Amino acid sequence: MLREVFEVLDLKNIRIWGGRPLEGTVNIQGSKNAVLPMMAAAVLHKGVTVLHGCPRIADVFCMEKILSHLGAKISWKGNSLYLDCSSLKNTDIPEQYACQMRCSIILLGALLGRFGRGAIAPPGGCVIGERPIDLHLSMLEALGTHIEEHEDLLRAYAPDLHGRDLRFQQQSVGATEHGIITAVLAKGVTYLENCAREPEILWLARFLNGMGASVKGAGTGEILVEGVAALRDSVFTVPPDRIVAGTYLCAAAATRGKICIENPPVSELPSFLGIYGKMGGQYDMVGGKLIADASRAYGPITRLETEVYPGFSTDLQSPVMAVLSLARGKSHIRENIFEDRFRVAEDLVHMGAHIRINGRDAYIDGTERLRGCRVTAQELRGGAALILAGLAAEGETTVENFQLVERGYEHIQEDIRCLGGTVSVEEI
């Protein structure tokens, strides 16, 4: 799957000259994980949807290509995205688009709600472990969908989508979002149990309700969706990205810097901020801004476990590993979400970190310094972690495959420069 991703993205490297504490002010982009399901849900409406504050990132551009293939008319004004889905005609999503990101599967429910049919190639995404779509397919079948699984295509038919009570076998952000989207135009009431509670699900519900849907309970384990006949035109502002905010706080911690975040999603980062505090980082809210002092963020974490929200996010595990590589003492990370999310450890070791991996456990013996060298991003968050390590390291670091980082970070190189870092991006 990594090879397939490389085939559709322009290859880039980012060069970092490290060894300087970051200082300055940064504004957080719109949320990647929030906007993608909103774009998919726009398919349900035979009209216009406007998303302000939309991040101009590779995954959004990929979803834009898919929607254009389906027949949507799309335009941009700065970071405002205009989606006119009044004249959709196609219902098949080919492999060239679906292979690029896992969340493309949720378009299937939107197509079923709009047309009663849809087809998609098995979806792709980052190489961080198995992410089966069984939960998605069983949900669709429960709501009245007939699915035919071909070798390279999932073809679905739902002439009569109907609500029902459904309990997910395990908490899944994507499956929960997919269930909500599929149920919006279904007949009757859909009651979803054991739902994921991530903030992005609450934002999706607010977005849909603004279009005329009836979604209640988002952000809890139980969600009620009352089907409606149609949706209406809407305008919505995408919330700031909590993972990007956490990444920049990790950048401050890795370099022992002091930064200001102008639009911090603090309420969505309780577990991360707890870990940041244990490392020695300090922060204060002043006039709606987060003022962070990470000059003493060198404390180890004896045990950190990734969990479903509101637990510690797996998306911030790699950036925190980079920080803990420079801690004064021993740390332990257990990865409970994705079994292959320690890929970045090998490159951190190449930079001088002392990390030992045993299955789902990473044991980190902090070192005084990292050294700049040439490393390779293998996935989105691991690539961001290598950039942080490069900012803290002595000398020059080159991170290959920077295009993978651009899947989720709109202008990380410009943000780093605003914080006093020195970076340059080169296309291959």
Residues annotated as part of the active site: 126
Which residues are 427's β-sheet partners?
12
Look at residues 111, 241, 251, 116 and name the one whose alpha carbon lies nearest to residue 181.
111
Among 100, 97, 9, CA closest to 400: 9
Residues near 379 by Cβ (< 8 Å), separated by ≥ 6? 2, 126, 127, 128, 343, 404
Please report, as a single letter, which amino acid is at residue 108: L
Distance from C-alpha of 295 to C-alpha of 66, rounded to nearest angstrom: 44
* CB-based contact 260:284 (threshold 8 Å): no
Please give the span between the terminal C-alpha atoms of the chain, in angstroms, as a whole number. 20
**Going by C-beta distance under 8 Å and a sequence separation of 6 or more, which residues neighbour residue 358?**
none
If you ran DSSP here, which 8-state letter would residue 377 be given? -
- Nearest Cα residue to 34 out of 69, 60, 61, 9: 60
Structure-token pair, residue 211: 């279009």
Answer yes or no: are the C-beta atoms of 116 and 161 closer than 8 Å: yes
Q: Where are the alpha helices (DSSP H) in 184-237?
A: 199-210
